[in-house]
């Protein structure tokens, strides 16, 4: 479509909008790198006299961010790993086999896409308590082990594969698990990437569920750790320090995003959920 708006006008408008959108992150980055002894003042909110990593060092000394990292990574890896396996199996079953009630069962799984797990916070909390998994990493991860979205997306991908190919593999003596791995999953790489990346960003950023299901620093992930950090009494309004903590939580995923931008965007489009 040829826009009536000239490219130059578009360029200027977009430059202004992009600057506005980027201000928070750019600003937090700049604030985190100020030397702590240079106070924030009107007209001098962006840069201090020199760059310094002192805020980062202090943030790491005040709260166990390394522990939080490990917790977030363990939780995310566990969720993604199990999700991919359970979803592959389910999608394979729903693609390859016909059985009584298969449609009803598929509908039950899809129900999860309409009822966000976030809304089931209260009953899931009771379940995890009942299973004696309160304040453990498995307790954070367990409710997300079955993913309707991943099952749905993989099934769509599997269905688009010619049936003959799978039949040929079966005739060649492939066992069902070989068929799943070599025929179906090997052609579903981009769907798998979409699942992994959208799940990664959802669970890296998830806050409310980890907040209620953890109480100790030993299992708390980055997001819950950050909020606890901001509410620590001795932090007060030390914005340089707070910005450093924010960057510690934010930057790794942001870097992954910039590197895998295309795959991320594809993942988001196919998911429609964060």
Partner 1 sequence: MAPTLFFVVVFTLLPLGEVLVGSLFKHKLNIPKYQVPIFAGLGNFSDLFKDPEFLQVLANTGIYVLVLIPVLLIGALGLAFLLDEKLKGLAFFRLAVFHPTVLPLVSAATIWMFFFTPGYGLWNQLLRLFGYSGPQNWAGNPSLALFAIALIAFWKNVGFLMLFFLTGLQNLDRSLIEAARLDGAGGPRLVTGIILPLIRRQTLFVTTIAFIGAFQTVDHVFVLTQGGPSGTSTLPLYYLWQLRFERLDIGRGDAVTVMLIFALLAFTVTNTLISERHEK
* By CB under 8 A, residue 60 contacts partner 1: no
Site for partner 1 in 10-29 (CB under 8 A): 10-11, 13-15, 17-19, 21-25, 27-28
By beta-carbon proximity to partner 1, the closer residue of 173 and 236 is: 236
By beta-carbon proximity to partner 1, the closer residue of 17 and 168 is: 17
Apex CA 148: angle with CA 80 and CA 261, to 5°?
Answer: 50
Site for partner 1 in 89-118 (CB under 8 A): 89-90, 92-94, 105, 108-109, 111-112, 114-118
Min CB(239)–partner 1 separation in Å? 5
Nearest to 80 by CA among 216, 267, 207: 267
φ, ψ for residue 194 (rounded to 5)? -60, -45
Q: Site map for partner 1, 27-56, x if CB under 8 A?
A: xx--x--------xxx--x-----------
User: Measured between alpha carbons, how far is residue 23 from residues 28, 100, 260 in Å?
Assistant: 8, 56, 22
The full DSSP string for 84-130 is HHHHHHHHHHHHH---TTHHHHHHHHHHHHHS-GGGGHHHHHHHHHH
Binding-site size for partner 1 (CB under 8 A) equals 92
Min CB(123)–partner 1 separation in Å? 3
Indicate the burial class of 166 (C-beta count within 10 angstroms; 0-12, 13-18, 19 or more).
buried
What's CA 198's distance to the chain center, in Å?
Answer: 6
Site for partner 1 in 194-253 (CB under 8 A): 201, 204-205, 207-208, 211-212, 222-223, 226-227, 230, 237, 239, 242-243, 245-246, 249-250, 253
Choose one: 52-60, 144-152, 157-165, 170-178; the region binding partner 1 (CB under 8 A): 144-152
């Amino acid at each position: 479509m040829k826009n009536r708006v000239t490219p130059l006008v578009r360029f200027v408008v977009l430059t202004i909008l992009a600057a506005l959108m980027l201000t928070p992150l750019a600003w937090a980055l700049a604030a985190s790198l100020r030397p702590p002894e240079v106070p924030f003042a009107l007209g001098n909110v962006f840069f201090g006299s020199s760059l310094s990593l002192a805020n980062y060092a202090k943030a790491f000394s005040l709260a166990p961010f390394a522990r939080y990292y490990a917790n977030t990574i363990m939780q995310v890896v566990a969720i993604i790993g199990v999700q991919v396996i359970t979803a592959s199996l389910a999608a394979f079953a729903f693609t390859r086999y016909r059985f009584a009630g298969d449609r009803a069962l598929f509908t039950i799984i899809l129900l999860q896409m309409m009822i966000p797990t976030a809304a089931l916070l209260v009953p899931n909390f009771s379940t995890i308590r009942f299973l004696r998994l309160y304040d453990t990493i498995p307790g954070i991860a367990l409710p997300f082990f079955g993913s309707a979205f991943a099952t749905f997306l993989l099934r769509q991908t599997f269905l688009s594969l010619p049936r003959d190919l799978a039949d040929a593999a079966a005739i060649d003596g492939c066992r069902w698990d070989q068929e799943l791995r070599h025929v179906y999953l090997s052609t579903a790489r981009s769907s798998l990437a979409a699942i992994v990346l959208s799940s990664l960003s959802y669970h890296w950023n998830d806050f409310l569920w980890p907040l209620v299901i953890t109480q100790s620093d030993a299992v708390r992930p980055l997001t819950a750790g950050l909020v606890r950090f901001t509410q620590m009494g001795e932090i007060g309004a030390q914005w340089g320090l707070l910005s450093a903590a924010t960057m510690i939580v934010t930057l790794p995923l942001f870097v992954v995003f910039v590197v895998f931008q295309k795959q991320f965007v594809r993942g988001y489009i196919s998911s429609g959920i964060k």
